[in-house]
Amino acid sequence: MSESVSPASSPSTKSQIPGDPKAFKRFIKELEARAAHLQESGSRVLAKHGDKLDGGVRHSLTQQLQALRSARKADHRAGWAEQLLTATEEFDASLETHLGQHRKSVFREYVEAIAWAVVLTLVIRAFVFEAFKIPTGSMIPSLQIQDHLFVNKFLYGLKIPFTRIKFLTLREPKPGEIVIFDYPYDDDADSAGKDLIKRVIGVAGDKVHVADNVIYRNGKPVPHKVISESADCGQEGQAGHRCVQWRECLGGITYVSQHHATSGDQPSFDNVADWPPVVFDALRMGPHATLYCPPENKNFPEFEVPSGSVLVMGDNRDNSKDGRFFGLVPLNTIKGKAGVLWYATDVSRIGSFVHQTLPEGTCDTF
């Protein structure tokens, strides 16, 4: 003999409906929300556990669920509120009687939703995108102090958290791209364990040197045009000094770099960063690099970038602690590629892409 559904008795639904217009409006809003949640959760529980019920009970619950759907879709005519309330309470009571052990409380559902949101956020942050704040002026004028941007973390390969083990690498960084990386060495307490942001100047196989502030890559100067011979350097602590700004084109990406101007009325301005003692490791730079010594910035001896590493520099060439000083950046320390500015003190820059890409071959005629 089939078991039948016996919903718990309840007060007259009509007596539960307030007569005051404001109270009625609030009651209907709450009832519709309750009915919508009950329909969704009830459908899920019935689909997952309904086969455990007697055929007659399952059929009755299915009919009550259909009645709830119909009540929610019904026109708002006289008696509509009573119909929806009745359908909601009957299905709720029957569901609790026969499948109560499989239902989740509202509190549990909220906790699970929050937990999944946290997990999803951590996964996205670890493997997809991460927000990054510019801490110093080494990338002025391209990026300003306190700029906030999103970093694409999956392009150069996913990294197992808290390690330097990478997998699923789509491609390696290209010249001209701005990358974020873990400072790879432990000889500078100021930088060790921190994320740095610089521009890739050379990749594996490239021969790079700097002569009179001009970067040469594989024997050819990086194309550049003078924008200003006496621009504001854009950073506090450099009052009285002006900068020469160049628009450069490297790897199909155009950007503005700067170095300090020197003239009859402009004093020489060497690199002002708080540099650690210069230590050149042959595995990092090669013994010839001892010919180069900070804070002399406008020249850099030719160096061939080995496999598995890149050479990086800041766009603010006379105030950037970069590859000219600490050496090569191993690929497994690179976190990702700079993407979109999501906050800047200059609101007109918000939403702009960090990289300005030109058509292929444009750099050759720059």
Whole-angstrom Cα distance, residue 312 to residue 310?
Answer: 6
122, 133 in Cβ contact below 8 A?
no
Q: How many CB atoms lie within 10 A of CB 210?
A: 20
- Sequence letter at residue 343: Y
Catalytic residue among 198, 321, 335, 337: 198
Q: Identify the CA nearest to 322 among candidates 137, 133, 130, 131.
A: 137
Taking each helix axis as running N to C, give the angle between helix 80-99 and helix 55-73, from 0 to 180 degrees, rounded to the nearest 10.
150
Tell me how far apart the alpha carbons of residues 59 and 42 are, in angstroms, rounded to a whole number: 14
Chain centre distance of CA 226: 34
Query: How does DSSP classify residue 8?
Result: P
Cβ atoms of residues 323 and 313 within 8 Å: yes
- The active-site residue, picked from 60, 94, 138, 257, is 138
CA 204 to chain CA centroid, nearest Å: 27
Q: Cα torsion for 311, 312, 316, 318, to the nearest 10°? A: -40
Instruction: Give the containing element (helix H, strand E) for 38.
Output: helix 21-49
- Encode 173-187 in three state secondary structure: CCCCCEEEEECCCCC
* 257 is known as an active-site residue: no
Whether residue 138 lies in the annotated active site: yes
Residue of 185, 124, 182 whose CA lies nearest to 150: 124
Q: Which residues pair with 242 in a beta bridge?
A: 232
Helices and strands in the chain, H and E counts: 6, 17
Catalytic residues: 138, 198
